[in-house]
Chains A and B, each alone.
Chain A
Amino acid sequence: MSLKIRHLLGLEGVSADDIRLILDTAVSFKEVLARKIPKVPTLRGTTVVNLFYEPSTRTRLSFELAEKRLSADTVNFSTSGSSVVKGESLKDTVWNIEAMKIDIIVIRHSASGAPHYLATCCRSTVINAGDGSHEHPTQGLLDMFTMREKYGRLEGLKVVIVGDIKHSRVARSNIWGLLTMGAEVAVCGPPTLLPVEIEKFGVRVYDDLDEALRGADIVNILRLQKERQKAGLLPSLREYSHYYGITRARLDLLNDNFTIMHPGPMNRGIEISSEVAEGPYSVILPQVTNGVAVRMAVLYLLSGGKGKVDEE
């Protein structure tokens, strides 16, 4: 059992078999994380560089923990205080890091497609930790893992993604992954924050939140970046919150046994009320826990199979 993909650049085009293998493997890693010594020697001798061109707490910590739990050596790189501020290009930076013998690059970059470009010009395995407004595949995988853990399946689940779909890499990875796995996906947000021709992805599109929520199983709430208001895409945060904020009253529209998700960091009182964030149906913290297990699975599965000796 091996993945067909060699890099994890996005979930677009990744087969259902590959996604299933990652999710199944993550179940075993979740068990590892529950042990007294939550660490295994699997990636001893593997070096991972975390290349973060954009600020991140959760994702960077989660990747770093996943790497350490697998006994890989890790090096962190963030743009401040590096030669990037001196004007070095991405390619030169990576070639220099690669010259120090590394195996895996985890990259976050504000430019959509940066990981794809990197995969064409370096020898290492590349994992996308978020590129611009394009994809955030490990977030998509951990969201699917969390849904599957609760419902036992992904097929037929009705998922609504609410918020700034246009600028959201979490939304795109969720849409591609969930559609591949047979879930029904709808998106909902103000028209200025919905990408043109989004329906061509194969999702239903709503600008009315109540209509979108009716009969759904899962609501995945996206973070609203306050800069969007300054850019003139929103009249006011208060208005956004009124029309698109998830409050206790709106939850009655959902199916029984519904679930609330949010990739974090949350703006309480804007896209989600505190009561909803902390309700028994919220899996926001389990999402974070599962993130480590899912990233361990991705790192493990992408490191195998170089093939020198074949049988013991």
Chain B
Amino acid sequence: MPRNITARVMSDKSISLALNRIAREIIDKNNGIGEVVIIGIRTRGAILAERLKKLLDEICNAQVPFGIIDITLYRDDIQVKLDQPLVQKTEILFDIVDKVVVLVDDVLYTGRTVRAALDALIDFGRPRAIQLAILVDRGHRELPIRADFAGKEIQTSKSERVEVHLKEFDGKDEVILDRSGRGGV
């Protein structure tokens, strides 16, 4: 039976709804946003984090601190990857000690990126808690890590590829499931 090679699993509208819901859930879980700071993982996690920050600012009429973390230097595959990822700057211009850090990424897959981000964050100080917000959870964890807030959970096989496109970086908002067998995030 022929099958479409790619399928759109989220539209711009469903991404926007998901982010709105996550913003509400963050407020509920933390009884407001008093101690909350938002940190996104480069590249698309940072874009989503900035959108979440704006939503929280609007809903609560506040200024939630927002930062960007680059996890390249904390990866566990630096010395085995053929093509080295470009090291970019981490921009966390506030103190995270005793704060509730909401860490944001686009896709949760093996959990290795989040593991690296946790190590990196802890080098910046000791937050009271770290919570994880994810747009798409596609399963296949290799580490004991789970999301506190997830936009959408989808069933995938490892040979499939989940591509998150965001306006700021890719020109439009959508999530695509690619079944052509290339694998990866």
The answer on A and B forming one complex is yes
A interface, CB within 8 angstroms of B: 1-2, 21, 24-25, 27-29, 31-32, 35-37, 39-42, 45-46, 70, 297, 300-301, 303-312
Chain B interface residue count, Cβ-Cβ cutoff 8 angstroms: 31
Count how many pairs of residues, one from A and one from B, have CB atoms less than 8 Å apart in the complex: 80
- Chain A: minimal CB distance from B43 (Å): 14
Contact of A303 with B70 at beta-carbon distance under 8 Å, contacts A2-B84, A311-B184 already known: no
Query: Could you say which residues of chain A place their CB within 8 Å of the CB of B87?
Result: 25, 28-29, 297, 300
Most A CB within 10 A of own CB, among B79, B84, B89, B184: B79
Which of B73, B78, B83 is in CB contact (< 8 Å) with A32?
Answer: B73
Contact of A36 with B124 at beta-carbon distance under 8 Å, contacts A28-B88, A29-B87 already known: yes
A40 close to B124 (CB less than 8 A): no
Which of A21, A37, A39, A307 is in CB contact (< 8 Å) with B82?
Answer: A307
Which of A24, A31, A304, A311 is in CB contact (< 8 Å) with B79?
Answer: A304
Query: Could you say which residues of chain A place their CB within 8 Å of the CB of B85?
Result: 1
Query: Could you say which residues of chain A place their CB within 8 Å of the CB of B78?
Result: 42, 303-304
- Chain B: minimal CB distance from A295 (Å): 14
Most A CB within 10 A of own CB, among B77, B124, B185: B77
Looking at chain A's contact residues, the main secondary structure is loop
Query: Could you say which residues of chain A place their CB within 8 Å of the CB of B125?
Result: 36
Query: Could you say which residues of chain B place their CB within 8 Å of the CB of A21?
Result: 86
Contact with A along B77-112 (1 / 0, CB 8 A): 111111111111111000000000000000001101
Query: Could you say which residues of chain B place their CB within 8 Å of the CB of A70?
Result: 73
B89 close to A41 (CB less than 8 A): no
Looking at chain B's contact residues, the main secondary structure is loop
Contact of A40 with B79 at beta-carbon distance under 8 Å, contacts A1-B84, A25-B86, A25-B87 already known: no
Contact with A along B111-127 (1 / 0, CB 8 A): 01100000110011100
- Chain A: minimal CB distance from B123 (Å): 5
* Assembled-state Cα–Cα distance A31/B124 (Å): 12
A301 close to B112 (CB less than 8 A): no
Query: Could you say which residues of chain A place their CB within 8 Å of the CB of B77?
Result: 309, 312
Query: Could you say which residues of chain A place their CB within 8 Å of the CB of B70?
Result: 28
* Assembled-state Cα–Cα distance A27/B86 (Å): 11
Nearest chain A residue, comparing its CB with the CB of B116: A41
Contact of A42 with B73 at beta-carbon distance under 8 Å, contacts A28-B88, A31-B90, A300-B87 already known: yes
* Assembled-state Cα–Cα distance A310/B120 (Å): 23
**Residues from 47 to 89 in B contacting A, C-beta threshold 8 Å:** 70, 73-75, 77-89
